[in-house]
Structure 1
Amino acid sequence: MTSDDLELKPGLVTTRAALAVAFGGPEAQERASQSGIVPARASKKLFVFSDPKKSKEHGYNFDGWTEGDNQSAVFDYTGTGPTGHQVLTGLNGTLLNHEAQKLDLHLFISDGHVKPGGAKRQRYVGKMTVDTTVPYTERWDYDTAGTLRRVYVFRLRPVDIEQTDVRQSDAVQVAKKSDVLPVPKMAKEPAKPGAKSKKTEQHSTGRTTANITGGERTVIRREGQLVTAFEEHLEQAGHAFSSFQITVEGEPGTLTPDLYDETDHTLYEAKGLTTRNNVRMAIGQLLDYRRHIEKHETLRVAVLLPSEPTPDVKTLLDTAGIALVYQMGVGFSGFPLPTPHPL
């Protein structure tokens, strides 16, 4: 039996045990002190508990409100799995597919202890939903054993911002130091049979909102497909590739270039549309990334596009000293890049 006596209002401070008793049934009560993702299927709810302090102990610290976009705020939430690469099955899969499983998603943030040595207090933030267009981004950090591993950071949006406890103190914490973390490119997980696919590119993007148009969804998907196709092209050419995760002292979040060709020491930024605005954005991103990469004096940068741009956009890239590679019917024009002149 479950009870709805505990009213979920933004700002409510409670405990996981109290939530399990009120809404969870045996399943949730058993998990009350375990994972940060707790299904309460008897009440058709999914409780998500964010604890930045505990997260850092497990080797990551990506949780919190981000800058969001012109549609709504976004709360970044790191999936479960304290060691090894995280996967999109199990409880992470439940979070990813909470709507398909008809579970209302409710977010809580750790808020001290009931008393010294007692249970942690949980402050209710509000009802959320996983972003339908870019539901997660991949991040990298070291676990408690010192092993570099992939984690999934889910992008949660308020269902009703007026009924959400948004506090500046809950924003993603700023980096204490600048760092450039080389990260490998990994094969994407195969889709789980029968599961609704919500996959996206491996890089982050700010173009994702609720009520996003179908056209923009298509652009984001094409960008991911373009990167994947070029990775295959690089592999066939015998090139090794990876990427970087860049953190900047005093700033939250990470910078994540699309692709680094290790063989040619070249950094690529891909865009799903061949337009002047997209190319200008790519130029700015590449110039920002390049400053942080080791041996940046010799690092080449290139824009990767799905088709040939206009002559003036080509001139813009050439003037900026940025290479151009674009997809053709078969292969990519502009690759391999010309051998640079000796200094």
Structure 2
Amino acid sequence: MPSEDLELKLGLETTRQELAVAFGGPEAKKRASQPGIVPMRATNKLFVFSDPHKSKENGYNFDGWSEGDDLGPVFDYTGTGPIGHQKIDGLNGTLLEHEAQGLELFLFISDGYVKPGGAKKQRLVGQMVVDPINPFVERWDYDETGALRRVYVFRLRPVDLDQTDMRAEDAVQPAQKTETVPLPKAPAKPGVKSKKTEKHSKSQTTAVIVDGERLVQRREGQLVTAFEEHLAKAGHTFASFQITVEGEPGALTPDLYDETDHALYEAKGLTTRPNVRMAIGQLADYRRHLKNPRTLRVAVLLPSEPTADVKALLKAEGVHLVYRAETGFAGFPLPKVD
């Protein structure tokens, strides 16, 4: 099928074979049989295919529209790699850097079959862009061998909401049970190349993204990494958890758990009252799902010393304070439990 007969617009229902012939160039047949992330470099396109049924078989339980945020809706899309820890390279790297590589990203959802026994029907959701502020989150799930492994869930934003097929049935599915899974110590997070935010038209939800928000995200990550190094030098072991809640989509992941001190930390990239208040609420939510919550100490990790009244707020709520100082981290180690 020639490309001029297959328009990537709202309402399109097609097959991977048709897309490959229309946009795949000389290697069309190979393109049709690739995994869920398919570059069509001959036409500067990148197609990603979300298959709810196949995803569940491969241990992917995170695909779908999430709650989104102040910047608009977000579609969570699990990267490729069905066995073992996923990596940010290969096709996952192509998805992460699709804009830098000049590839327009289009999302499809598997939606039935063309006919009984025929090819899977692919419904176009719309043109998307990987969120430049927080392009992906780490999640943990079991692969088909039963091994706990890390997966990368990319956060895709619609380029034009008016040309996006958003359906309630495509939302992230709620968890079947409440479960707290201790996570193995993860390796250093892969670097995300910095790039300036492109300008978009008014219909594009990414237009309000600013570099300042992305900078706060990086500061928070750098703060946690620095504190992990501080803990290691002090002889402490640390990890985190993934908490799923029955009837709710997605997962909760605290920033850091100090196994040595049985202490849970929530980090913030800014030392402001709204950020501290948010951290207090998150810690209160997390601690309910961990073992021995009565003896668990909780602390807010900040990049600098807050005001006296914010300190008083933390003390009143029974939350410890640790912040970065010239010679290390003030407030660490936490006071011993009586």
Same fold, TM exceeding 0.5? yes
Q: CA deviation at 1:34?
A: 3.0
Q: Which residue of 2 aligns with 1:221?
A: 218
Q: Which residue of 2 aligns with 1:205?
A: none
Q: Which residue of 1 aligns with 2:300?
A: 303
- 1:172–1:252 Cα contact (<8 Å) kept: yes
| Whole-Å separation in 2 of the counterparts to 1:187 and 1:197 | 21
Q: Which runs of 5+ in 1 are unaligned?
A: 199-207
Q: Which residue of 2 aligns with 1:204?
A: none
**Residue aligned with 1:327, SS:** strand
**Residue aligned with 1:260, SS:** strand
| Whole-Å separation in 2 of the counterparts to 1:47 and 1:294 | 43
CA deviations over 1:49-90 (Å, ceiling 9, x no partner): 001211111112100011112222110000000001101110
Q: Which residue of 2 aligns with 1:256?
A: 253
Q: 1:151 to 1:327 in 2, by over 3 A?
A: same
CA deviations over 1:234-267 (Å, ceiling 9, x no partner): 0101111110111111111111100000111111
Computed over aligned residues only, the root mean square deviation of the Cα atoms, in angstroms, reads 1.7
**Residue aligned with 1:31, SS:** helix
Q: 1:28 to 1:308 in 2, by over 3 A?
A: farther
- 1:69–1:209 Cα contact (<8 Å) kept: no
Tell me if 1:289 matches 2:286. Answer: yes
Alignment of 1:8-23 (within 5 A): 8-23=8-23
Write the letter of the residue equivalent to 1:96.
Answer: L
Q: CA deviation at 1:306?
A: 0.7
**Residue aligned with 2:4, SS:** coil
- The TM-score with structure 1 as length reference comes to 0.92
Q: Which residue of 2 aligns with 1:181?
A: 181
Q: Which residue of 2 aligns with 1:57?
A: 57
Alignment of 1:30-179 (within 5 A): 30-179=30-179
Report which stretch shifted further, 208-217 or 325-334: 208-217
| Whole-Å separation in 2 of the counterparts to 1:282 and 1:189 | 22
Q: Which residue of 2 aligns with 1:334?
A: 331
Q: 1:89 to 1:27 in 2, by over 3 A?
A: farther
Write the letter of the residue equivalent to 1:237.
Answer: A
CA deviations over 1:184-208 (Å, ceiling 9, x no partner): 23222555xxx9457xxxxxxxxx9
Tell me if 1:241 matches 2:248. Answer: no
Q: CA deviation at 1:6?
A: 0.6
Which residue among 325, 329, 343 is the counterpart of 2:322?
325
Tell me if 1:26 matches 2:23. Answer: no
**Residue aligned with 2:187, SS:** coil
Write the letter of the residue equivalent to 2:282.
Answer: Q
Q: 1:146 to 1:234 in 2, by over 3 A?
A: same
| Whole-Å separation in 1 of the counterparts to 2:93 and 2:2 | 24
Q: Which residue of 2 aligns with 1:275?
A: 272
Write the letter of the residue equivalent to 1:158.
Answer: P
CA deviations over 1:24-68 (Å, ceiling 9, x no partner): 123343131330001111111000000121111111210001111
- 1:131–1:210 Cα contact (<8 Å) kept: no
Q: CA deviation at 1:104?
A: 0.5
Q: 1:209 to 1:256 in 2, by over 3 A?
A: farther
**Residue aligned with 2:3, SS:** coil
Q: Which runs of 5+ in 2 are unaligned?
A: 196-204
**Residue aligned with 1:117, SS:** coil
**Residue aligned with 2:247, SS:** coil
Q: CA deviation at 1:117?
A: 2.4
Q: Which residue of 1 aligns with 2:199?
A: none
- 1:178–1:246 Cα contact (<8 Å) kept: yes
Q: CA deviation at 1:210?
A: 5.0
| Whole-Å separation in 2 of the counterparts to 1:4 and 1:224 | 45
| Whole-Å separation in 2 of the counterparts to 1:93 and 1:34 | 15
- 2:322–2:330 Cα contact (<8 Å) kept: yes
Tell me the number of residue pairs that the alignment of Structure 1 and Structure 2 aligns: 329
